Amino acid sequence: MEKNEYALDYILQAEYNLLRKQFIPGIIVIPSGKSNLIWNGVHFVSQGPYEGGVFRFSIIIPPTFPDGDCPKVIFMSSIYHPQINVDTGELDIKRYFPVWKRNGHHLWQVLRYIRRIFQKIETTNSVNVDAANLYEQDPGIFLSKISECVNQSKDNLYTPEPSTTDDPHAILFTPWSDKLQNVRQLLLTGKKVNKSNCSISYIIFHLIRKHFLILIPIKRRIALHKAFDNIHGLSWMKPGVYQILTREDTLPSHQN
């Protein structure tokens, strides 16, 4: 049985607030502007065999959440991995959450599992048997296939996903503009500068919507979207490294 819309909004708001208290390096996630039941995400892999990959994904939340079935994780690009379906891009989430427990499991734990699969390769009960066998029998060729996935993710970095073109909360990547250097410097150091020798990229995503509109039921958000059309939040990456710049002293005190 599907939950009342307002009750489900409240539950998802609580889940998102829990997520914001976690330190999950390399992952950006934000609820879709079209539905609370879809969360857009990007994972910047910083270590392990998939290091350097920038993989977009969606979390599909069942309307009965947190009761019933597990959320689904769908990767937007082709990823050669034993635990990711090669045809659909779906991660085998039930491997880690065989039964979704209402009071024991949360969406931030799903994000931690996403990080884990790219750092530690497990081949038992794989959904991509070919990848599992190749990992066990010929690691060299397996790594070459992984390298293709990583390079493809970088090549497609600035290409929006067709499924999110009409989503006001889509996470977009755009080449760096020098006009934003002062903004970057102010956010990172609190000091304005007029010149820069930096060459970096930035991510545009709707920060105001992330922290404000998530508190409002989906039907009431639509009227507010136009008011935020020109408001964006910013984040940065080093060129060729694809790692988000983060200051440890800006983390919540319980995470330092």
Q: Give the whole-number percent of the chain exceeding pLDDT 90.
A: 47
Contact (CB, 8 A) for 1 and 16: no
> Which pLDDT belongs to residue 197?
40
- pLDDT tens digit sequence for 101-142: 988 999 999 999 999 999 999 999 999 999 999 999 999 999
Using the predicted structure, report yes or no on whether residue 167 has a pLDDT greater than 90. no
- pLDDT tens digit sequence for 32-74: 988 999 999 999 998 899 999 999 999 999 999 999 889 999 9
How far is residue 37's CA from residue 140's CA, in Å, rounded to a whole number?
Answer: 39
pLDDT higher for 110 or 172? 110
**In the structure, what pLDDT confidence band is assigned to residue 200 with cuts at 50, 70 and 90?**
very low
How far is residue 62's CA from residue 217's CA, in Å, rounded to a whole number?
Answer: 17
- Strands in 81-152 per DSSP E: none
> Which CATH architecture best describes the domain 1-250?
Roll (3.10)
| Per-residue b or e along 96-133, where b marks 16 or more CB atoms closer than 10 Å to that residue's CB | bbeebeeeebbbbbbbebbbebbeebeeeebbbeebbe
3-state SS class at 218: helix
**In the structure, what pLDDT confidence band is assigned to residue 195 with cuts at 50, 70 and 90?**
very low
Using the predicted structure, report yes or no on whether residue 225 has a pLDDT greater than 50. no
Query: How confident is the model over 218-245, as a mean pLDDT?
Result: 47
**In the structure, what pLDDT confidence band is assigned to residue 163 with cuts at 50, 70 and 90?**
confident
Contact (CB, 8 A) for 15 and 37: no
What residue spans define the domains of the chain? 1-250
> Which pLDDT belongs to residue 5?
78
> Which pLDDT belongs to residue 3?
58
Amino acid 62 reads P
Query: How confident is the model over 173-190, as a mean pLDDT?
Result: 70
Show the CA angle centred on residue 112, arms to residues 34 and 63, nearest 5°: 35
Using the predicted structure, report yes or no on whether residue 143 has a pLDDT greater than 90. yes
Show the CA angle centred on residue 33, arms to residues 38 and 200, nearest 5°: 95
Query: How confident is the model over 131-160, as a mean pLDDT?
Result: 93
pLDDT higher for 179 or 237? 179
Question: Across the chain, what does the average pLDDT equal?
Answer: 77
pTM of the model: 0.72
Picking from 247, 144, 131, 254, the residue whose alpha carbon sits closest to that of residue 190 is 247
Beta bridge partners of 39: 31, 59
> Which pLDDT belongs to residue 105?
94
What is the chain's alpha carbon radius of gyration, rounded to the nearest angstrom? 19
